[in-house]
Amino acid sequence: MKRMWSPWRSQYIASFKKPSRQTKNTDSLFTAARKARDDDKHFIVWRGETCFVIMNRYPYNSGHLMIVPNRQTTTLQDLNAEELTDIMKTVQRSIRALDAVMGPQGYNFGANLGRVSGAGVDNHVHFHIVPRWNGDTNFMPVLADTKVISEDMKETLKKLQKFFRSEEV
């Protein structure tokens, strides 16, 4: 079996102080960001009634977004029909925004459910949208231990926020 290594993720992994054994009474980093009401600081793109869109601080690619339910829950099964519907509509809207702002040629979309699946935040279910371009995988991660993110995250944030505001009219 061949292995593919992604050493640039070590900064993300190192950000965990200890294994997650948090209770439901402990705010996730997503809940804390939502409650902070400082969208630019926390890279929150848009807020809805049941979910919000936030940029990944440790992106696989430029424009890596996460759709997060406002209500903190650890499992997909705990989400109600309204939340699930709104999340999927928000996924569609996020892809429209990324198409308009960044023009990717494809996407990876999904969720890591549970710590052993790779969920870095396992106490708050969330969904990833990763824009992909032809040639976005190159020699830099392999030879230089570096993942190139082509645009400053704050610039991407502003463009995406503008798109979401314009679509609400």
Catalytic residues: 126
User: What is d(CA 12, CA 14) in angstroms, rounded to the nearest whole number?
Assistant: 5
Q: How far apart are CA 46 and CA 126, in angstroms?
A: 15
Q: Token pair of 29, please?
A: 């980093």
CB 133 within 8 A of CB 105: yes
- Where would I find the H helices in the chain? 10-14, 29-36, 39-42, 81-102, 139-143, 153-167
